[in-house]
Chains A and B, each alone.
Chain A
Amino acid sequence: MKYPRLFGLHARPGPYLHWVLVALPFAFMICAYLISSHKMLAENPNAKLLPSVAKMAEATARLATEPDPRTGQYPFWQDTVSSLQRLGMGIVSAAIVGLLLGINMAMFPGLNSLARAFVTFLSIIPPLAVLPVLFIVFGVDETAKVILIFVGSVFVITRDIFLATLALPKEQVTKALSLGASQLGVVYRVILPQVMPRLFNTTRLTLGAAWLFLIAAEAIASTEGLGYRIYLMRRYMAMDVILPYVCWITLIGYTLDLGLRLWVGWRYPWYTK
């Protein structure tokens, strides 16, 4: 008896059909866009809503290869670099602080009593609601944007690492002590290496939120950055810039996610058994 190819719990699509299915929704989206765009442009060649692929390529190439006459920089690359810098600084600092805070809260009952309720409380404050406060306190330059990303990510990471640490068997702590580990040795040489892969995974998931905060902060107060450009171009309804930028952000996000996933698989082979 054969397995069904497509339908039901027991379906086994096979390698060929698998990749066809993977490509299908993408192909559908692209086709739908091209057809709609073509129709709309046939009616009105100046329509801005769904620009042609050629138009988008032209606009992107202009931003990527022609320096801005005022600053001498290439806007597309400058936007990318400054956005990634903000995102990187915010998420890396959040990951480090979240890791240390989460682990120590889970391991030391005293710190747990002190910090747990407070961290939970802080994590519920909507970060975007305090964005104006950040701008007032830290000014409108880089600091406030990085801090927004940090604040938006750090508590989620802390709580996830906290739970992951609690889920490790208590026997491991006793075992390490019985092998002569010091208390700090248990925390930083036994427990920490075991939650590292979890840290990368939770950072992957948090990146989605981090992009949101980045773009929100750039939209409000900035002079360059991917989010800034998108919101600037909105005023001119320049969909030929906005759509490629959205695709570019998506591509960067996907690459980061894939990179982190491959890193975890390569560096921590024991984690994904």
Chain B
Amino acid sequence: MGGMEVSVVHEVKGVNDLEKLKTGSILHIQDVYKAYGDNLILDDIDLSIAPGEFCAVVGPSGCGKSTLLRLILGQERTTTGQVLLNGSPIGSPDKDRGIVYQKYSLFPNLRALDNILFGHRLRMWPWQWGARKKELTEKAMVFLRRAGMENHSHKYPHQLSGGQQQRVAVIQALFSRPKILLMDEPFSALDPGAREDMQMFLLELWEESRLTIFFVTHDLEEAAYMGTRLVALSQYYSDERDPAELKKIGAKVVVDLHLREIGQAASPQVKTTAQFGQLIQDIRRDAFDPGYRQHVKDFSLNHPHSFYTLSSYEGGEEPT
């Protein structure tokens, strides 16, 4: 871990009591840096997410939003900084954090129904499984019926369309009752029709399960429509540092907005309003336009849980 130096000055904005925020949040990310060698990807991410939030994360491609998701998942480790789930530091991936990827979420050797049941099966001894098989199968079938897929339960993933695969993947992840569901571009490979169906399906499940969702997408409209909270990561900003000195500017949270109340999904009509169009335009300028570089002090971090701590990173190797 040689040569790494992080000095933290807590200058908390927006929130009076950092400790209270930390304990009240389901997910708390503070002073997180991620570097690959000299290449800084994430530059001091501070983010605290309340239970039940649908947190949509956008950003230009390569800004590190998927990296942030992998840090939360535990698939990768932070270079420095804390990631807390319900107040305790996260470790390797476990059943507290569900995940849906763009692809490879389903096991190709299992039929749709078995994919959904697989989580429970993995956690049980065969005799325990035998005792609960019937009950769990019925439960899984209820979900499949809701997804309009009761006739596809015996099919292998490669026999399903992309949209159907993602439906099964969402059900599979929810079926293990995670504390937070992470989604990495889950609908990005779908055609527009299937995509809208999936968005409705997910919002419906989210509304009734009161699950916390961390939803990464490159599609700004999708993020603004789905999320109760919208976070944009971007490397397009300016600060006191001389850009020429930095190998690459790491991404920061440049936009953090409260869109709607927790537990309330937006109706699809919202997309047609002028207000929605203006929001999209603003975020596109603030986060996606390389020519428009906001100063760190001017970020629109209006969400009540938004905070930042001043810290600096002196480089160094990634821990091996």
Contacts and interface: CB of A to CB of B under 8 A. Distances in A.
Nearest to A183: B92
Contact of B123 (A174, A180, A193): A180
7 contacts: A171-B101, A171-B105, A172-B104, A177-B92, A178-B98, A194-B109, A273-B158
B137 to A, nearest CB: 17
B95 interface: yes
A3 interface: no
A270 B156 contact: yes
Contacts of B93: 174, 177-178
Given A194-B109, A270-B156, A177 B94 contact: yes
B268 interface: no
Interface size class on chain A is: 20 to 34
Contacts of A261: none
Interface in B194-251: none
Contact of A175 (B94, B101, B123, B158): B101
Interface string A182-198: 10010001100110000
Nearest to A271: B109
A176 interface: yes
Given A179-B176, A180-B122, A169 B97 contact: no
Shortest beta-carbon contacts, A-B, top 3: A179-B119, A180-B95, A177-B93
Contacts of B176: 178-180
Given A171-B101, A270-B156, A270-B158, A178 B178 contact: yes
Contacts of A194: 107-109
Contacts, number: 67
Interface string B75-113: 100000000000000001111011101011101110000
Contacts of B98: 178-179
A181 interface: yes
B105 A176 contact: no
B73 interface: yes
Nearest to A177: B93
A178 B122 contact: no
Contacts of A126: none
Interface residues of B, number: 27
A269 B156 contact: yes
B104 A169 contact: yes
Given A174-B93, A175-B101, A175-B104, A181 B75 contact: no
B118 interface: yes
Contacts of A170: 75
Interface in A131-162: none
Contact of A180 (B73, B92, B94, B158): B94
Contacts of A269: 156
Contacts of A268: 109
Nearest to B155: A270
Given A178-B73, A178-B94, A178-B97, A171 B104 contact: yes
A268 B156 CA distance: 11
B227 to A, nearest CB: 22
A178 B99 contact: yes
A172 to B, nearest CB: 6
Given A189-B122, A270-B158, A178 B95 contact: yes
Q: Which of A171, A189, A269: most chain B CB closer than 10 A? A: A171
A170 B108 CA distance: 14
Contacts of B109: 193-194, 268, 270-271
Contacts of B173: 178-179
Nearest to B175: A179
Contact of A172 (B94, B97, B107, B172): B107
A170 B70 CA distance: 12
A180 B98 CA distance: 9
A177 B118 CA distance: 11
B73 A174 contact: yes
Q: Which of B105, B108, B172, B176: most chain A CB closer than 10 A? A: B108
A270 B101 contact: no
Nearest to B184: A171
Q: Which of A181, A185, A271: most chain B CB closer than 10 A? A: A181
A175 B95 contact: no
Interface string A230-273: 00000000000000000000000000000000000000111101
A181 to B, nearest CB: 4
Contacts of A174: 73, 75, 93, 99
Contacts of A182: 122
A176 B122 CA distance: 8
Nearest to A171: B104
B81 to A, nearest CB: 21
Interface in B116-156: 118-119, 122-123, 156
A180 B119 contact: yes
A153 to B, nearest CB: 25
A169 to B, nearest CB: 4
A169 B118 CA distance: 18
Nearest to A190: B107
A194 B173 CA distance: 20
A170 B93 CA distance: 12
A176 B98 CA distance: 10
Contacts of A178: 73, 93-95, 97-99, 173, 176, 178
